[in-house]
Amino acid sequence: TQLDLIRNFSIVAHIDHGKSTLADRLIQMTGTVAARDMKAQMLDSMDIERERGITIKANTVRIEYPAKDGKTYILNLIDTPGHVDFAYEVSRSMRAVEGSLLVVDASQGVEAQTLANVYQALDAGHEIVPVLNKIDLPAAEPDRIRQQIEDVIGLDASDAVLISAKSGLGIPEVLEAIVTRLPPPKGDRDAPLKAMLVDSWYDAYLGVVVMVRIMDGVMKKGDRVRMMQTNAVYGIDKLAVLKPEMRDIAELGPGEIGIFTASIKQVRDTRVGDTITHERKGCTEALPGFKPAQPVVFCGLFPVDANEFENLRDAIEKLSLNDASFSTEMETSAALGFGFRCGFLGLLHLEVIRDRLEREYDIDLITTAPSVVFKLHMKDGTVQDLHNPADMPDLTYVDHIEEPRIKATIMVPDDYLGDVLKLCQDRRGIQMDLSYAGSRAMVVYDLPLAEVVFDFYDRLKSVTQGYASFDYTISEYREDFLVKMSILVNEEPVDALSMMVHRDRAEARGRAMVEKLKDLIPRHMFKIPIQAAIGARVIARETLSAMRKDVTAKCYGGDASRKKKLLEKQKAGKKRMRQFGKVEIPQEAFISALKMD
């Protein structure tokens, strides 16, 4: 295809502003999918995505559009995930296209993710067409929002396209704007092959499928290609475009976006952002900016039923074939048995994976407290990453500890600002900036990631009745006074409940935790101390009193020897319990105890 007949674009928007609905309309209106095959949210393929209404994996569709100028254009839409956890995927897919439609809900206006995503599009050098959606709503205020886009983002919105993705109003204008206002791709057909690996996933029938954007040169079926990061060489078995179902194609030229399969065993063998070239006469220089996605939040996953361990292992292996950003390692816990310590890109990623394990593989799981990666600066000068509070070494070896900080942007109606500031302050936040766009405040906070992974989103939503929007980027590692807090039940440390906390917050956290556990653990035949401790020092304590079953009540007087026997039996029972430190902690205690506030 001629370069000037191609337009590659993505749609950037805050969650719920109508990105998927608009994509569906574009597909429908160009007859890319026959009406009878059209299901709502065509691009969100996984069930969970559809249910949760979030787009996780980048998807793509090739649309043929006969424009008003009489020419037929090929429009490649790359669907980008909207959520911050997938920011790396967003930035990769942005580099594969030249322009973006910026969708803003005309009744809501600019939100935190609108900003985060549009900045990424601008970083990638995109031409941007603002689109105001939901103008069918009585609350829509297109003039005000247009002004807001100019004020907050600094983008000329005077010729924003007004649409209702729901009713289809304005869709033809969007298609024309894509062709007339977004630039065609550049590329040299005669240069050595240079393709960007945009995405990859595991398909039950085809194995690993790789999505590429061709920058220079031509990719053909049968070609032998090399991944420049891993140096692995593969022969291309199948070359296709997504419409959105796969259609085989003989070749992909510069500016084009398509997929190939090449008997690649695991998604892990493909690195998003890698450069693909021909085995022979390949290009010498890779595309800039390759950076693997780093997990930032870790937690332990254990089967509720220990017999399910093998099933869990299988399920985790299958899932990680399909998601290279999710890391796993075997873990054993004295309290929970065998399980896995898993790393995620963020909390949402964690939730999605946990949901899939429970739902698609039908395994009941215990999730331990999410933890961030702390950097331990040891006295011997080395630096260690701490993924699991249970692995914290003796403090005498540690010089100081650093934790990841984030730059959080929160947008919220004026009325709730006070509550938001209080929440951030409570979470050890440092206010960086506060500004207004109309009656909405935008605050920027420097916060410890560790304080955000617990229940920050939930708290933020609840104190603002759902009106706040939130986005963050990891900023830096910084030293703070952090300690490991252990929880001891019946004098035994329960590793799955230990956590890293700020020294000043340790007492309050510890107290809350032991109080909760006291309610969660059922009474036993003996007294159970429940303690929170830093090193050997107990900072909070509760005692669960013994359940006193009067075992002699049934012996109607008399028989003293029988009475004695029974008492001895009870004592032995008690002893055995103590001996094994065997307190039964119900499964839900692990989850509930960690939820603060």
Q: What are the binding residues for GTP?
A: 16-21, 133-136
What is the closest distance, in whole angstroms, from the C-beta atom of residue 312 to ligand GTP in the complex? 29
Question: In terms of DSSP H, where are the helices of 84-134?
Answer: 87-95, 112-123
Between 62 and 134, CB nearer to ligand GTP: 134
Which residue numbers belong to the known binding site? 16-21, 133-136
Structure tokens at 391: 């692995």
Measured distance CA(252)–CA(255) in Å, rounded: 8
State the nearest-atom distance from the C-beta of 12 to ligand GTP, in Å: 10
Nearer to ligand GTP, 48 or 591 (CB): 48
Q: Smallest distance from the beta carbon of 378 to ligand GTP, in angstroms?
A: 43
Burial pattern 226-260, b for ≥16 Cβ within 10 A else e, equals bbbbeeeebebeebbbbebebeebeebbbbbbbbb
Measured distance CA(442)–CA(469) in Å, rounded: 10
CA 111 to chain CA centroid, Å, is 19
Q: Is 184 helix (H, G, I), strand (E, B) or coil?
A: coil
Distance CA(89)–CA(99), nearest Å, equals: 16
Question: Rg of the Cα trace of the chain?
Answer: 28
Residues linked to residue 202 through DSSP beta bridges, in sequence order = 208
Query: Of 381 and 466, which has the nearer Cβ to ligand GTP?
Result: 466
CA distances from 196 to 124, 277, 550 (A): 14, 9, 74
**Minimum distance, C-beta of residue 143 to ligand GTP, in the bound complex (Å):** 17
Which residues, including other chains, have CB under 8 Å from residue 125's CB and lie 6 or more apart?
A: 98
Q: Can you tell me the distance from the alpha carbon of 57 to that of 54, in angstroms, rounded to the nearest whole number?
A: 10
* Residue 433, strand partner residues: 444
Footprint of ligand GTP on this chain (CB under 6 A)? 13, 15-21, 53-55, 82, 133-134, 136-137, 164-166
| Phi, psi torsion values for 392, nearest 5 degrees | -60, 125
Peptide bond before residue 244 is cis, with ω within 30 degrees of 0: yes
